[in-house]
Amino acid sequence: MSTILRSEPLAPECGVTVHDVQLAEAEGETLDAIRQAVFEHGVAVFRGQSLSPEQHIDLAKRWGGIDINNYFPLTDTHPEIAVVRKAAEQQTNIGGAWHTDHSYDQVPAMGSILVARTLPPKGGDTLFAHMGAAYDALDEDTKREIEDLEAFHTADHVYKEGGIYARTDIGGELRGQDLQTGATHPVVVRHPRTGRKLLYVNPSFTVTIVGRSREDSLPLLERLFAEARNPDHHARVVWEPGTVAIWDNRTTWHNALNDYQGHAREMHRITLTGEKLAA
Ligand SMILES: O=C(O)CCC(=O)C(=O)O
Ligand SMILES: [Fe+2]
């Protein structure tokens, strides 16, 4: 844990809660310490924040670059902010399965800053899984087996016309149905800033091991996913008014729970630019 930040773990292997910081003002060595905490723990939670859309954008700019999301609706006034919204009458939510944002991009986004705007009376938590902890827990044979492997990631089956979301009641709100995506990354990447080895495959976007058919890829992928699904590696973000979470897509998977039918939930997300990943 950093000496600059007062913080405590969110769960034994994943996540951190940071106290005494107003993100609207975070800069310099405080922001450096926050970056380090996010890279290491995968997700950092901040309570009691007041971030206007402009302050949200300014924070993301101070962090580094902003990636404009190709699929989610954007706010009318601030194109940098994607809206992660479920109306009371909608059944399907965005991100309601384990995934890593943007793994289908050649240069995957570093992570996101998510601000709670409208919350259901209860439920709507977001789970995170630490992919360094998942990697460490693999047996030595599996670690050797995946050492030099690469995997292919795409979002086409999720977002394209006729894809998973198009067949739900949020399909009409999403953009980018005509985009084609695809990227190859090592199955185990090194975190570009911490150097930690991370399992970099996920059940939503990783479709094959390079050089193998889908059918031949699935047994190994499922074995790796099973380790990451072990709750020992997880943390739960329980949202409150004023909660902001910043996560790292390389260090974590996430899963937005859809257990609040009949209630609205709206989050503002800014996606942070990442870098090419290597073994
Ligand atoms: O709504 C959430 O908690 C997260 C949704 C999600 O997967 C995302 O914004 O990337
Ligand atoms: Fe997501």
Phi, psi torsion values for 201, nearest 5 degrees: -135, 150
Task: From the CA of 95, give the closest atom in ligand 1.
Answer: 7
Residue in 217, 203, 227, 225 with CA at minimum distance from that of residue 138 = 227
pLDDT exceeds 90 at position 193: yes
Are 277 and 193 in contact by the 8 Å Cβ rule? The answer is no
The domain limits of the chain are 6-272
| CATH number of this structure's domain 6-272 | 3.60.130.10
Mean pLDDT calculated for residue range 4-26? 97
Which pLDDT band holds residue 178 (cuts at 50, 70, 90)? confident
Query: Please, which residues have CB within 8 angstroms of residue 185's CB and are 6 or more apart in sequence?
Result: 103, 108, 150, 151, 153, 200, 277
Residue nearest to atom 8 of ligand 1 (CA): 95
Task: From the CA of 125, give the closest atom in ligand 1.
Answer: 3
**pTM of the entire structure?**
0.96
Cα(112) to centroid of ligand 1, in Å? 9
Question: pLDDT (tens digit, 9 = 90+) per residue, 122-168?
Answer: 999 999 999 999 999 999 999 999 999 999 999 988 777 778 877 78
Pocket around ligand 1 at a 6 A CB cut-off: 84, 94-95, 101, 112, 114, 126, 254, 256, 267, 269
Q: What is the pLDDT of residue 1?
A: 62
Percentage of residues in the chain having pLDDT higher than 70: 99
Identify the burial level of 159 via C-beta atoms within 10 angstroms of its C-beta, where 0-12 means exposed, 13-18 middle and 19 or more buried.
buried
Cα(257) to centroid of ligand 2, in Å? 11
Pocket test for ligand 1, best of 98, 104, 126 (most atoms within 8 A of CB): 126
